[in-house]
A and B are shown apart, each in its own frame.
Chain A
Amino acid sequence: MKAERTSTKRDGRWLGLYVLAYLVFLYLPVLLIPLFSFNDSIQAAFPLQGFTLEWYATLYGNPALSGALLNSLVIGAIAASGATLCGITVSYMDLYGRSPLAATISAIARLPILIPGVIVGISLLILVNLVALGPSRIAIVLGHILVALPTTVVIMRSRFAAIPRSVREAALDLGASDWTTFRRVMLPLSLPAVLSAFMLAFLISFDEFIVVFFLAGTEPTLPLYIWSQLRFPRSLPTVMALGTVILAVSFIIAGTAEFLRHRGLGAARRNPA
């Protein structure tokens, strides 16, 4: 038994080293982008030349870039709102609606995980052309709602499932209507998850490229702008400066979403009823 314990401990140490190496593999290529964004050379190669903020300066006063950024922010906010609204209602009805329709909707809502992005893109492209909408910002919003939907449904579903059923039943027994129960009891109890779902949906929309490629009209989103710049070697340092800013903001939003989700779960565990 004692020998068993020490061998497990030794295994743990080797595994710990492996996890460390894995994290290096995960982060090293990504961290090259900030590293070279401060490098005083067009070429992303060693040895590093001098330190410069020149590439960050080129980000200012670029109308194509700020237009794409604004587009991404607006589309991200609308798509995330739509995906979060669907995530809330779909998972709420799935758990409490007691109808086969609600269960079916919930199952289909998690389906886009099993559809490659290129197919989501072309199927929506055909749809928006059929209704004479064509590639447009609305088309992008619809695409991003689809891509973010499985995430928001899964987050909201696990949150609603963590609220004891007795909470909702007590509210209904005390005479609250469905609306009041949902709005005054269930929604406030799951607010951290709602915020977390919204932020993650926003990030998904903000970074999404594969679907948006088919649905964008004349107004590109930020990833499309980056894609267009990647063709020109001279603009690569600017892309790296822009990428660094995006990485930093994404890390902050993802960190906040994670914090909120955990706080929500922690609160549910502390006050189970």
Chain B
Amino acid sequence: MSTLVAAQAPESRSSSGFRLAMLLPGALVTFLLILFSLALVLFLAFRGNDGSLLGVGLTAENFVTVASDPLYWTVTLRSLIIAGLVTLATVVTAYPVAYYLAFHAGSRRGLLLFLVTLPFWTSYLLRVFAWKIVLAYNGVLNSALIESGIWSEPTLAFLNTPAAVVVTLAHAYAPFAILPIYVALDTIPKSLLEAASDLGARPFTVFRRVVLPNSMPGVLAAALVVFVPTVGDYVTPAMVGGPVSTMIGTLIQSQFGKANDWPFGAALSVCVMLVILVVVLVARGADRRFGSRT
């Protein structure tokens, strides 16, 4: 018996008690907290609102309302445009930083990497608040412009605009974008770049034909990591966006608060998840295309 056990691979000796104890916390959290609670949202989205916790009946009415009321189309479209602009701005401004980190930073790389990711670990609420005091009527930007003689009167044009939301979110999610792009750029073998220039490619051609396609998985990952939290955000629109920048997250939040129509809020959430699913699938497809090219 003992020789039989010894002959087996170490993996197969795992005691069932060990496996159970090691799998249990993760299983509880993933199946109960993530999958089951998301299933509850999906279920609730097909219920009518009677003030009770899980609603009443089985209906597609919530989705009909979302589809037929132009308000929801406007807000959804606005959320997509704002989140899209935030993603574009964040990724485009982050790319050169990641490029510098991967190819030029040398011994300063560790420190720079730490400096660009540090703001991510500080309060999101405080970063949004910081932009509010920059953009406000009596704020830093206005007072600095007047103080330096460029402006003679404070302007209301900064705060409570969609542009304020884009700048604030691009600032808040900047560290998210740099890391995945840097990781992708860092895995490109330097010999590949040398081979390209040895074969006569000019620096810009090397970038366009070798570096950019090879870094696309990182760019797509960065875009996703920025797009997902921004599309559902309700704090930044409320603090610096004003009524003209209401986003879908704000509507969901108000259904679970003031409006007290949870089934409708759940239906809006399901729509947001569907949009994100489409974006993820498109990103996957693009990833595969770039993957096959290199």
A214 within 8 A of B: yes
User: Is the pair B174, A43 in contact by a Cβ cutoff of 8 Å?
Assistant: no
B242 within 8 A of A: no
User: Is the pair B25, A22 in contact by a Cβ cutoff of 8 Å?
Assistant: no
User: Is the pair B203, A30 in contact by a Cβ cutoff of 8 Å?
Assistant: no
Complex partner residue of B171 from A29, A114, A127, CB under 8 angstroms: A29
Name which residue of chain B comes closest to A129, CB basis. Answer: B53
Q: How far is the CB of A128 from chain B (nearest CB, A)?
A: 9
A210 within 8 A of B: yes
The binding surface of chain A is classed by DSSP as helix
Query: Given A18-B96, A45-B138, A122-B269, is A86 in contact with B40 using a C-beta cutoff of 8 Å?
Result: no
A26 proximity list for chain B (CB < 8 A): 116, 119, 171, 174-175
User: Is the pair A44, B23 in contact by a Cβ cutoff of 8 Å?
Assistant: no
User: Is the pair B27, A30 in contact by a Cβ cutoff of 8 Å?
Assistant: no
A262 within 8 A of B: yes
A243 within 8 A of B: yes
B233 within 8 A of A: yes
B73 within 8 A of A: no
Query: Given A29-B131, A119-B232, A243-B126, is A126 in contact with B29 using a C-beta cutoff of 8 Å?
Result: no
A254 within 8 A of B: yes
Which among B26, B125, B276 has the greatest number of chain A C-beta atoms within 10 A? B26
B22 within 8 A of A: yes
User: Is the pair A246, B126 in contact by a Cβ cutoff of 8 Å?
Assistant: yes
Complex partner residue of B126 from A19, A45, A109, A247, CB under 8 angstroms: A247
B22 proximity list for chain A (CB < 8 A): 89, 92-93, 97, 182
Q: How far is the CB of B273 from chain A (nearest CB, A)?
A: 7
Binary flags per residue of B104-125, CB closer than 8 Å to A gives 1, else 0: 1000001010111011011111
Q: How far is the CB of A101 from chain B (nearest CB, A)?
A: 7
Query: Given A45-B142, A89-B23, is A8 in contact with B203 using a C-beta cutoff of 8 Å?
Result: yes
A115 within 8 A of B: yes
Q: How far apart are the CA atoms of A236 and B10 in the complex, in Å?
A: 61
A216 within 8 A of B: no
User: Is the pair B33, A178 in contact by a Cβ cutoff of 8 Å?
Assistant: no
Name which residue of chain A comes closest to B146, CB basis. Answer: A46
User: Is the pair B35, A117 in contact by a Cβ cutoff of 8 Å?
Assistant: no
For B, the interface residue count at a CB cutoff of 8 angstroms equals 89
Q: How far apart are the CA atoms of A239 and B130 in the complex, in Å?
A: 11
B127 within 8 A of A: yes
B85 within 8 A of A: no
B123 proximity list for chain A (CB < 8 A): 207, 209, 223, 226, 243, 246-247, 250
Q: Which of B211-219, B248-256, B286-294 contacts A (4 or more CB under 8 A)?
A: B248-256
Binary flags per residue of A1-40, CB closer than 8 Å to B gives 1, else 0: 0001001100110011011001101110110110010000
Name which residue of chain B comes closest to A101, CB basis. Answer: B23
Complex partner residue of B29 from A4, A123, A149, A236, CB under 8 angstroms: A149
B269 proximity list for chain A (CB < 8 A): 118-119, 122-123
User: Is the pair A169, B235 in contact by a Cβ cutoff of 8 Å?
Assistant: no
A163 within 8 A of B: no
Complex partner residue of B33 from A18, A46, A146, A213, CB under 8 angstroms: A146
Q: How far is the CB of A269 from chain B (nearest CB, A)?
A: 14
B224 within 8 A of A: yes
Query: Given A33-B126, A173-B10, is A116 in contact with B228 using a C-beta cutoff of 8 Å?
Result: yes
Name which residue of chain B comes closest to A44, CB basis. Answer: B133
Binary flags per residue of A101-137, CB closer than 8 Å to B gives 1, else 0: 1101110110111111111001111110110000000
Binary flags per residue of B224-264, CB closer than 8 Å to A gives 1, else 0: 11001101111100010000000001001100100000100
A50 within 8 A of B: no
B262 proximity list for chain A (CB < 8 A): 122, 126
Q: How far apart are the CA atoms of A6 and B232 in the complex, in Å?
A: 46
B54 within 8 A of A: yes
Beyond the given A29-B127, A113-B225, A243-B129, could you list 6 further A-B residue pairs with CB under 8 A, ordered by the A residue number?
Answer: A11-B104, A46-B144, A116-B229, A116-B232, A251-B121, A262-B110
Q: Which residues of A contact B (CB under 8 A)?
A: 4, 7-8, 11-12, 15-16, 18-19, 22-23, 25-27, 29-30, 32-33, 36, 43-47, 82, 85-86, 89-90, 92-93, 96-99, 101-102, 104-106, 108-109, 111-119, 122-127, 129-130, 142, 145-146, 149, 168-169, 172-173, 177-179, 182, 200, 203, 207, 209-210, 213-214, 223, 226-227, 230, 236, 239, 243, 246-247, 250-251, 253-255, 258, 262
